[in-house]
Amino acid sequence: MKISLGKWLLPLYSALALIFLMVPIVYTFIFSFNDSLKSNITWRGFTFDKWLNVCQVQNGAVCEAFGNSLVIGAVATVAATVMGTMIAIAIVRYKFRYRSATSLLLFLPMATPEVVLGAGLAAQFLAVGVPKNMLTIILAHTMFCISFVVVTVKARVASLDPALEEAGQDLYGSPSQVFMRITFPLLLPGILAAALLSFALSFDDFIITNFNSGAVSTFPKYIYISAARGIPAEANVVASAVFILALVIVVTAQVSTAARAKRLAKLS
Amino acid sequence: MAFAAFSTTAGAPEDIQRRRSPVALLLLLPGILYLVLFFLTPLVSLVLTSLQTPAEFGDIGQFNYAFKWENYVQVVSDYWPHILRSFGFALAATVLALVFSYPLAYFIGVKARRWPLMQSLMLVLVIAPFFISFLLRTLAWKQIFSDESFIVTSLKAISLLAPDAHLTGTPGAVIFGLTYNFIPFMTLPLYTTLERLDVRYLEAGSDLYANPFQVFRKVTIPLSMPGIVAGTLLTFIPAAGDYVNASRDFLGGADSQMIGNVIEANFLVLLNYPAAAALSIILMSVILVIVTIYIKRAGTEELL
């Protein structure tokens, strides 16, 4: 009994747990093929129409929201990745005063509930008289992405051997040459990971966006507002397409790291 | 993803030579200034807003700066059930997510070590929910548990559910939604600590005549404490402030509204900014107190 518990129960449980996690994803995917009318609740038959004509429902509201989310995600990701990477380099490489206050300032946004971050920014925009639009959403997203970039890039900077940069200096590389030719390429995987994380956080954010978006629609906000009267199947199409794309990127990255590890093992 | 924030802080080697240089200031300044402007001063605005008083001859939504501390008394007396419910729901979801995730993380991190490909594939499945909109996932559950759904009609057919009962719109549905949505945040940090767990400690435990249950309680659990602390915080904090699951258009109902729903309604619909701000400050303060006590307790009693 004891042996069978360890041998079968745990793998069986894990398989069931993973299937459970997939249930709403599979549901969303299946209902992207539903030949639905306005709302997408009951199954009315299979069709490819929604995939082929994603942008035609409600004068393209789904695609407009999706496009806004892409623009906001891209701008916020670039801004947060640049500022976050700079902070990460400073924290690992340099001595400076108020180090613990800086760490606290970087940690707090991650430990604050999103509703507080959203309401706080909205209260500030209101007090200063800034109208809510695309820019206020981008400002908000950049804010909560910075800390996550710092944490992700910091690990990469810490694993970087300073001797490589010193070698560059010894060979008469100017500081900018050393950075562009040595530091930046070596940090790139960490920076890319941080950028992907930022984009994912921004793209899926609803709570902070809802407080700072005014009349601008984003993909999550579109879903939230439409939830009352029913979500068109086109939203499922967009979400499923994003899901498949993200899955392909992650699996490719996994497989290529595994392949590189194998190659390196063969060489040594 | 986000779990890295809590679990890798101690991992970085500290033996790197740090220099003092004006470059540090240049590197820090833009980001720190940004966080001061868009994180710190908004918190100050929130405190100032929470103390405002309605403008005497103003419209709805017009307030003047004041020190109206009664706002706090007012929101607590108006919304204490929502405040209590938020922390209750968040606690329930955290415990459920921990119980659900621990065996899964243990299997992926310890038992699946022999099959690296399967291990990474299972991890991809754990984070897969992140790739599809959080709101659509929650709506999918709403439809799976709706009154016309297969699950509800069959439960009613075998009389496990009263004919007039609902699954959605109940506190149970909100707790279920919160649990589901934060399971990856619990599983990932648990996985990162269990993956590094040295199984020889477990063998040593059994060699010293501990039964499997004792080994689990006295060896496995204490060694995985950092993952448990990180996972519970990453679940509890966002769950306490969430208002999507409890929204009436998603899994919630009239008797399952949380503090986030009240903040949203006061800020965006009723334009009662002071009440929304006061509730936000209360939410943040209570969370900070709970988190500080929790980290201290987990650090001193369990980690030693």
Taking contacts as CB-CB distances below 8 angstroms, the residues of chain B near A94 are: 18-21, 23-24, 27
> Is A24 close to B291, i.e. CB distance below 8 A?
no
> Is B136 close to A235, i.e. CB distance below 8 A?
yes
For chain A, the first-to-last Cα distance in angstroms comes to 45
> Is A200 close to B247, i.e. CB distance below 8 A?
no
Q: How many CB pairs under 8 A join A and B?
A: 283
Question: Chain B, 176-195: which have a CB under 8 Å from a chain A CB?
Answer: 180, 183-184
Determine the residue among B8, B9, B27, B182 to mutate to test chain A binding: the one whose Cβ has the most chain A Cβ atoms within 10 Å.
B27
Rounded to the nearest angstrom, the minimum Cα separation between B304 and chain A is 24
> Is B135 close to A223, i.e. CB distance below 8 A?
yes
Closest CB to B240 among A23, A94, A113: A113
Task: Report pLDDT for A5.
Answer: 57
Tokens 């004792």 found at: B214
> Is B28 close to A87, i.e. CB distance below 8 A?
yes
Question: Chain B, 78-117: which have a CB under 8 Å from a chain A CB?
Answer: 100, 103-104, 106-108, 111, 116-117
User: H or E stretch including A74?
Assistant: helix A61-93
Between the CA of residue B146 and those of A25, A172, B89, B150, what are the distances in Å? 17, 70, 21, 9
Contacts of A59 (CB under 8 A, 6+ apart): none
Residue-wise pLDDT for A200-256, tens only, equals 999 999 999 999 998 999 999 999 988 888 888 888 999 999 999 999 988 888 788
The CA distance from B224 to B300, in Å, is 15
The CA distance from B38 to B267, in Å, is 19
> Is A113 close to B140, i.e. CB distance below 8 A?
no
DSSP-assigned letters across all residues of B186-254: HHHHHHHHHHT--HHHHHHHHHTT--HHHHIIIIIHHHTHHHHHHHHHHHHHHHHH--STTSTTTT--G
Domain ranges for chain B, please list them.
Answer: 79-302
Confidence of residue A6 (pLDDT cuts 50, 70, 90): low
> Is A143 close to B139, i.e. CB distance below 8 A?
no
Local confidence pLDDT in tens for the 304 residues of chain B: 344 444 444 444 445 568 788 888 999 999 999 999 999 999 999 999 999 888 877 777 788 888 888 999 999 999 999 999 999 999 999 999 999 999 999 999 999 988 888 888 899 999 999 899 999 999 999 999 988 888 888 888 888 888 888 888 899 999 999 999 999 999 999 999 999 898 899 889 888 988 888 889 888 999 999 899 999 999 999 999 999 999 999 999 988 999 999 999 999 999 999 999 999 999 999 999 998 888 888 764 444 3
Taking contacts as CB-CB distances below 8 angstroms, the residues of chain A near B51 are: none
Task: Give the residue, B3 or A129, on which the prediction is more confident.
Answer: A129
Confidence of residue A4 (pLDDT cuts 50, 70, 90): low
Closest CB to B39 among A109, A206, A254: A109
Residue-wise pLDDT for A170-204, tens only, equals 999 888 898 889 889 999 989 998 999 999 999 99
CATH of the domain spanning A61-231: 1.10.3720.10
Nearest CA in chain A to B97: A17
The CA distance from B9 to B2, in Å, is 12
Q: How many residues are recorded in chain B?
A: 304
Question: Chain A, 169-188: which have a CB under 8 Å from a chain B CB?
Answer: none
Q: B293 in contact with A at a CB cutoff of 8 Å?
A: no
CATH: 1.10.260.40, 1.10.3720.10, 3.40.1190.20, 2.40.10.350. Which one for B79-302?
A: 1.10.3720.10
Max Cα-Cα span within chain B: 79
List A94's β-bridge partners, or say none: B19
Domain ranges for chain A, please list them.
Answer: 61-231, 235-268
* Exposure b/e, A200-233, CB count within 10 A at least 16 = b: bbbbbbbbbbbbbbeebbbbbbbbbebbeeebbb
Torsion angles phi and psi, residue B64, rounded to 5: -110, 150
**Check: complex ipTM more than 0.85:** yes
Taking contacts as CB-CB distances below 8 angstroms, the residues of chain A near B66 are: none
